[in-house]
Amino acid sequence: MTATTDGSTGATLPSRATAASDTTLITPEAAAGAGEAAARAARRATEFLLSRQDVQGWWKGDLETNVTMDAEDLLLRQFLGIREEATTQAAAVFIRGEQREDGTWATFFGGPGELSTSIEAYVALRLAGDEPDAPHMAKASAWIREHGGIAASRVFTRIWLALFGWWKWEDLPELPPELIYFPSWMPLNIYDFGCWARQTIVPLTVVSAKRPVRPAPFPLDELHTDPDTPNPPKPLAPVASWDGAFQRLDKMLHQLRKVAPRGLRKAAMNSAARWIIERQENDGCWGGIQPPAVYSVIALHLLGYDLQHPVMREGLASLDRFAVWREDGARMIEACQSPVWDTCLAVIALADAGLPTDHPQLVKAADWMLGEEIVRPGDWAVKRPQLPPGGWAFEFHNDNYPDIDDTAEVALALRRVRHHDPERVDRAIGRAVRWNLGMQSKNGAWGAFDVDNTSSFPNRLPFCDFGEVIDPPSADVTAHVVEMLAAEGLAHDPRTRRGIAWLLAEQEPNGAWFGRWGVNYLYGTGSVVPALTAAGLPVAHPAIRKAVAWLESVQNDDGGWGEDLRSYQQAEEWSGRGVSTASQTAWALMALLAAGERDSTAVERGIQWLAGTQREDGTWDEPYFTGTGFPWDFSINYHLYRQVFPLTALGRYLHGDPFERQLLARAGQPPARAGRPLSEARGS
């Protein structure tokens, strides 16, 4: 594959294949070859995926992020006085293995060095005993100084350093615990933040109020550009700007701290503690994700909860369950675990690949998913108090925060299984449909966890300098809900049509859709096109044709598709561009197949790439990060993506559109020819 170089980043840009040949139809001989290759690859992938199911019925791949998870785990244990040598050295093995040649650490495979991540990794290795003058450490500290040192790092990194006196609390943004008392209609109340940010900010208000300092085990002078002035003052933005206004608000809060009534502050911290404890899950974690658990444990410890208190004991035990131990002795910390998401995607993949709908492993998976349904209110009920519950979260235990995206995909998965208790399935899906419809935002679209979580104020806070802190509607989540509603016979419901109208309005000028929770335009487009055609949009619709043209234009010379995370920062240069990966190739194929392009050269080349890159054991290798936590700032490598999405694409190539098959089966008609677009079957 030929390539060019982007001078601004030094990164390699895969060349775009010309689209002229992709619009032609393949010959019968080529189609037969692709069909045989697809069938062989699908068979091997099916066998592998079936072999990886847990005895309880679920699937879960590793969820890989970056070394800040591992570094902060060690810093937490150091702060609590429970760090022990075996865990420390195992974490250090992993962190050292992730260091780049230039001494830095990146936030995704093949990405550039990132300052805050490198600082946290460096400090963790110091805890593990690596000396500052060791070659790998000296290289890291030199790079850190060249890029501004600790003073240029993000707020969260400096909070961790402040816990040990490596940074001054006075030089961090103020986060008053009195926020807990702000009513839901008031700007900057805790429900203005996305659920992941909310769960982190509430405990951090306690930490910010307490300003604890534990004795530093060593100095960090080598990470300052000027050790004599480690906390240089930063200039204020213009007073007429939003940034300037919030910077001055922060200064006011620092002054208010000195005169705030002690009784009110103590009461606010106690209220925050109650809020935290009420949201602890049955497994001891908070929200099923690691960062809120870490900060919640610190906050409660500062408020007097000893390590043997049941809340603390279970919270610390839950953190151990985020650890993945590797054969080389390395210990990697997952930021989250994704069994519900992985299981519903695996069921969809296996069913679409032709596994019998009553296969025992599919039924067992359906039983497990049905048992994971959330039937009690959570934080979402603050905005929707009258809405009955019904949905699924992402993780093993997270009853407070069901996920709109997971709920839609679980419903789609359950409909693919011939279950022994169809009435139970119908009731669960009925609750899911009702809940998802009730969570529609006023613009007609859907966010991931909350309704109309779109306030611009939280992102303006000086404290919020890392990642997304709000949860606005996105094209990928909205598409999955629309696809689910169409599968439930609600394609013409006015609420579904509003979602479709929003999706059409959100299409980019080049024909793609932005991917909030996956990288990036390939994920967005791979989600939206199947949803629109499932909802009855004809494949001749201009939006579909434009999407097809874009996908053909960004296909790599090797026949696959890939997109680098830099597309979140430099869309024009990187949109749909990157080294071919199995999951992203599958997303492109899923869109093209839904658009009626089964017999095109683009699809044939993509199928051949998937078949040709599959390993003998039925797996694909995918070191690249194709999942998204926060666009650009926090990236995810879902280790099961490389299995479920290629199998889904291969299955749809071999057996046609799954929604069409379901539709025809309900009508008592024989299956249509593989690849015939749904719009033709429905007379669109």
Tens of pLDDT, residues 177-212: 999 999 989 999 999 999 999 999 999 999 999 999
Q: How far apart are CA 245 and CA 154, in angstroms?
A: 20
Angle at CA 191, nearest 5°, toward 186 and 192? 65
Residues, the chain, total?
Answer: 684
| Residue 677, pLDDT above cutoff 50 | no
Task: Return the half-sphere exposure (C-beta side, CA atoms, 13 A cut-off) of residue 98.
Answer: 33
Annotated catalytic residue 564: no
Under the banding of pLDDT at 50, 70 and 90, the label for residue 29 is low
**How confident is residue 672, by pLDDT bands cut at 50, 70 and 90?**
very low
Q: What is the C-alpha separation between 542 and 525, in angstroms, rounded? A: 14
Closest CA to 610 of 582, 578, 580: 582
Note the pLDDT of residue 407.
98
Contact predicate 656/674, CB 8 Å: yes
Section 115-133 average pLDDT: 98
336 φ, ψ to 5°?
Answer: -165, 170
Render 575-610 in DSSP notation, one character per residue: TT-SS--HHHHHHHHHHHHHTT-TTBHHHHHHHHHH
Over residues 67-121, the pLDDT tens digits come to 999 999 999 999 999 999 999 999 999 999 999 999 999 999 999 999 999 999 9
Cβ(477)–Cβ(516) under 8 Å? yes
Torsion of CA 646, 356, 435, 281, to 10 degrees: -80
CA dihedral of residues 38, 40, 45, 50 (deg, nearest 10) = 130
Question: Exposed, middle or buried: residue 400 (CB in 10 Å: 0-12, 13-18, 19+)?
Answer: buried
Chain centroid to Cα 297, Å, comes to 24
Model pLDDT for residues 549-600, shown as the tens digit of each residue: 999 999 999 999 999 999 999 998 999 999 999 999 999 999 999 999 999 9
Q: Above 50 in pLDDT, residue 679?
A: no
Q: Cβ contacts of residue 198 below 8 Å, gap of 6+?
A: 190, 191, 379
Q: What angle do CA 458, 391, 348 make, to 5 degrees?
A: 110
Nearest to 587 by CA among 671, 653, 505, 523: 523
Q: What is the DSSP letter of 134?
A: S
Pair 495, 443: CB distance under 8 Å: no
What average pLDDT does this structure show over 497-508? Answer: 98
pLDDT of residue 252: 74
Look up residue 549 and give its two tokens.
Answer: 């043209």
pLDDT band per the 50, 70, 90 thresholds, residue 30: low
Q: How far apart are CA 368 and CA 421, in angstroms?
A: 13
Identify any residues that bridge with 391 across adjacent strands, giving them in sequence order.
374
Indicate the pTM of the whole model.
0.91
Report the alpha-carbon distance of residue 205 to residue 493 in Å, rounded. Answer: 44
User: At 681, which helix (H) or strand (E)?
Assistant: helix 678-681
pLDDT surpasses 50 at 21: no
- Residue 349's CB is within 10 A of a number of other CB atoms, namely 29
Report the C-alpha gap between 129 and 88 in whole angstroms. Answer: 9
Alpha helices in 260-320 (DSSP H): 262-278, 290-302, 310-320
How do residues 238-249 score in pLDDT, each as one tens digit? 877 766 766 677
* pLDDT at res. 662: 64
| Beta carbons of 414 and 370 less than 8 angstroms apart | yes
DSSP annotation string for 390-455: -BB-SSSS-TT--BHHHHHHHHHHHTTS--S-HHHHHHHHHHHHHHHHHT--TTS---SSSSSB--
Long-range CB pairs of 76-84 (<8 Å, 24+ gap) are: 76/294, 76/297, 76/298, 76/319, 78/127, 78/164, 78/214, 78/217, 79/163, 79/164, 79/214, 79/298, 80/297, 80/298, 80/301, 80/307, 82/307, 82/316, 83/127
Tell me what the mean pLDDT of segment 244-256 comes to.
71
Q: What is the pLDDT of residues 409-458, one digit of tens each?
A: 999 999 999 999 999 999 999 999 999 999 999 999 999 999 999 998 88
Confidence bin at 281 (pLDDT 50/70/90):
very high
- For residues 503-510, give the mean pLDDT: 98
pLDDT of 684 higher than 80 = no
Question: For 129, left (φ over 0), alpha (ψ -120 to 50), or beta?
Answer: left
Express each pLDDT in 608-650 by its tens digit: 999 999 999 999 999 999 999 999 999 999 999 999 999 999 9
Which amino acid makes up residue 427? R
The pLDDT of residue 678 is 36
Candidates 254, 312, 640, 249; CA nearest to 461 is 249
Exposed, middle or buried, 279 (CB in 10 Å: 0-12/13-18/19+)? Answer: buried
Identity of the amino acid at 242: W
Please tell me which residue in 192, 403, 405, 564 is annotated as part of the active site. Answer: 405
Q: How confident is the model over 535-560, as a mean pLDDT? A: 97
| pLDDT reported for residue 667 | 53
Q: Which pLDDT score is estimated for 682?
A: 35
User: For residue range 291-302, what is the model confidence (pLDDT) as tens digits?
Assistant: 899 999 999 999
Q: State the pLDDT confidence band at 227, using cuts at 50, 70 and 90.
A: confident
626: left (phi over 0), alpha (psi -120 to 50) or beta: alpha
The string over 225-239, giving b where at least 16 C-beta atoms fall within 10 Å of a residue's C-beta and e elsewhere, is: beeeebeeeeeeeee
Domains of the chain: 21-51+507-513+528-684 (1.50.10.20), 64-333 (1.50.10.20)
Instruction: With beta carbons less than 8 A apart as the criterion, state whether 273 and 202 touch.
Output: no
Phi-psi region of 372 (alpha: psi -120 to 50; beta: other; left: phi over 0): alpha
- The closest alpha carbon to 91, from 303, 308, 432, 333, belongs to 333
- Lowest-confidence range among 21-25, 27-31, 595-599? 21-25
pLDDT of residue 418: 96
What is the helix (H) or strand (E) element at residue 5, kind and residue range?
A: strand 3-5
